[in-house]
Structure 1
Amino acid sequence: MDIKEVSQRAAKIRQRYHELELKYHGSKWSAEEDALAFLTDAGIVGRLVMDQQGWWPKTSDDQLDYKIGECIWWLATLADQTGLSLEDCIRHFLDQRERDLK
């Protein structure tokens, strides 16, 4: 799957969540709320990696792959909400790191 497909599929899923938020809460989450949700899931990824590596008592049901995918989904969502291209964001980061590490 390429980055553009990730972004497109992520946007469709986020739209569906917005519909549910409107239905159950009367408003859609803001970009700030989405960013906080991403940070929560990123923290869970940290805990799951610790579980996997034996650095933390086993407390999970082995959803590391799912949570990493969810974090990528959040990042695609946040890029879209802020008018950025996920592909461009990744390219910019990788290009800069490659230049810095030569």
Structure 2
Amino acid sequence: MDLSEITRQAMRVHTLYDELNQARSGRTWSRQDFVLGFVGDVGDLAKLTQAADGVRPAPPGPGLAHELADCLWSVVVIAEQYGIDLEAAFTTTMRQLEASLTGELEQGAAR
């Protein structure tokens, strides 16, 4: 599955959440609500990675793979809501980081 299919699937689920939230509370989630939900997912992810590393007991509920998928879903939806081409942004950012890190490593080796 490529990023465009992941995005299509994520947005289908987003639409279903909009329908459910509208039915339950009379409103859909704003972009800020999604960001706050993502922060919660990252907190859950942190707890699960600590459990996987033996630092704390595993919390009840879905595991690490599920939470990573939740976080990816949130990132994809937030990118769509802000009109960000996530694939292009990722590619550009990774190229910039690679060039920066390679330059730092080369400078360090020259010392």
Q: TM-score range by the shorter chain?
A: over 0.9
Q: Residue by residue, what CA displacement relative to the aligned partner does 1:2-43 show, whole Å, maximum 9, x if unpaired?
A: 111111110111011001111111111000000000010011
Conservation of the 8 A alpha-carbon contact between 1:48 and 1:60: no
Consecutive aligned runs of 4 or more in structure 1 exceeding 3 Å deviation: none
Conservation of the 8 A alpha-carbon contact between 1:48 and 1:62: no
- Please tell me the residue identity of whatever aligns with 2:46: G
* Structure 1 residue 52: Cα displacement: 0.3
Q: Tell me, which stretches of 5 or more residues in structure 1 are unaligned? A: none
CA RMSD of aligned residues (A): 1.3
Identity of aligned residues (%): 27
Which of structures 1 and 2 has the bigger CA Rg? Answer: 2
What does 1:79-98 align with in structure 2 at a 5 Å threshold? 79-98=79-98
Q: Which fold has the larger relative contact order, with Cα–Cα distance below 8 Å and residues 6 or more apart in sequence?
A: 1
Q: Residue by residue, what CA displacement relative to the aligned partner does 1:47-91 show, whole Å, maximum 9, x if unpaired?
A: 100000111133345610000001000000000000111212221
Quote the residue 2:109 is aligned against.
none
TM-score by length of 1: 0.93
Q: Tell me, which stretches of 5 or more residues in structure 2 are unaligned? A: 103-111
